[in-house]
Amino acid sequence: MKYQSVRFHEFGAPANVLSYETEENLTATPLKSGEVRVSIQFAPINPADLNYIQGNYGIRPSLPAVPGVESAGVVTESSSEIISVGDQVIFIIRVGTWQSEVICDGDEVIVVPAIPAEQASMLKVNPPTALCLLENYVNLKSGDYIIQNAANSGVGQCVIQIAKILGIRTINLVRREELIPELLKLGADHVLLDDDSTVEKVREICGENLPKLACNAVGGDSALRLMDALAEQGQHVTFGAMSMRSLKVPNKFLIFKRIQLHGLWVTKWIEENDRATVHAAYHRLAKWVAEGKLNQAIDSTYKPKNIIQAITHATEGKRSGKILLDFS
């Protein structure tokens, strides 16, 4: 079988440095004790992948390197006591999944229930980020409000769907008016334009029941609007910086509103929690996918040989979902 991979030999703009590489009649590397061989099915293109290729990610690889922070595949050979041949797995630790076959330790993957491989490939990053946002910073009860910017992002759409499952009400900020009907259909309670009128509208909607949690993926002025809209002692969690603008927090939010600021990177959440906790979260998320309660939109699928077209499409502003690489 032909081995396929997408690699980069220098850091830079993804469309300029990525290459599709193959190797015929690849000799199978024998497995060590505890390892598994996984045939990759699908791998999404994430913003983290673009940063990784540019050399701006939290992990900087030695070169040449294979990108890919998440994917799903099927185990074709196993020397692990906990993973069996035929299991559908996702990678929770490994970076480098844009290749047709991966050998790794069995502890680096999690077996997921029988859900579509495309959805499984997107399970590692956005859904647990959304779940952590909703459950790890404040004890939200049914009927409580949260507010988020970048509500049309992958994480934002997961927040809307998981909040609906948990009975939490969402106020969602977007930059384009045409996104409002789509998010309302997804289950959002309120969708507002992210502008200078946001805070006043939030207070009209919520009355005394102001949001207890703000989820910030943008930074800059948008992040400050979230702080202004929060209830006293609200929790403000930053997990992205789409605007590339730093947070400059007015003292009044810290002193008088006593807002607490946090940062979230799902990679650290995986590293800092025990295997049972991480597994339980992913199985919970996979169950919601299987039940049709949690779905991540897919815009297009490309074969890895068309990586430049795929990357170009992934970096376009107006997409209707994820771009996937199909290694199946």
Contact residues for 282 (Cβ-Cβ < 8 A; gap 6+): 90, 92, 110, 112, 123, 128
pLDDT of residue 195: 95
Neighbour count for residue 212 (Cβ, 10 Å): 21
Query: What DSSP state is assigned to residue 83?
Result: -
pTM as predicted = 0.93
Task: Tell me if 229 sits within 8 A of 201, measured CB to CB.
Answer: no
Reported as a single tens digit per residue, the pLDDT across 189-224 is 999 999 999 999 999 999 999 999 999 999 999 999
Reported as a single tens digit per residue, the pLDDT across 83-114 is 999 999 999 987 799 999 999 999 999 999 88
Buried b (16+ CB within 10 A) or exposed e, 4-33: bbbbbeebeebbebbeebeeeeeeeeebee
* 243 has a pLDDT exceeding 80: no
Spot the catalytic one: 57, 137, 145, 302. 57
Query: DSSP assignment of 178-224, as one string?
Result: GGHHHHHHHT-SEEEESSTTHHHHHHHHHTT---SEEEESSBHHHHH
* 130 has a pLDDT exceeding 70: yes
pLDDT of residue 268: 93
- Cα–Cα–Cα angle for 273, 274, 276, rounded to 5 degrees: 125
Reported as a single tens digit per residue, the pLDDT across 286-312 is 999 999 999 999 999 999 999 999 999
Annotation marks residue 52 as catalytic: no
Query: Rounded to an integer, what distance in angstroms lies between the CA atom of residue 116 and that of residue 121?
Result: 9
Task: Tell me if 43 sits within 8 A of 325, measured CB to CB.
Answer: yes
* Domains of the chain by start residue, with CATH: 3-122+296-326 (3.90.180.10), 126-267 (3.40.50.720)
Which ranges in the chain belong to alpha helices (H)?
A: 14-17, 47-54, 117-121, 126-135, 154-166, 180-186, 198-206, 220-229, 251-255, 266-272, 275-290, 307-314
Mean pLDDT in residue range 43-66: 92
pLDDT of residue 242: 79
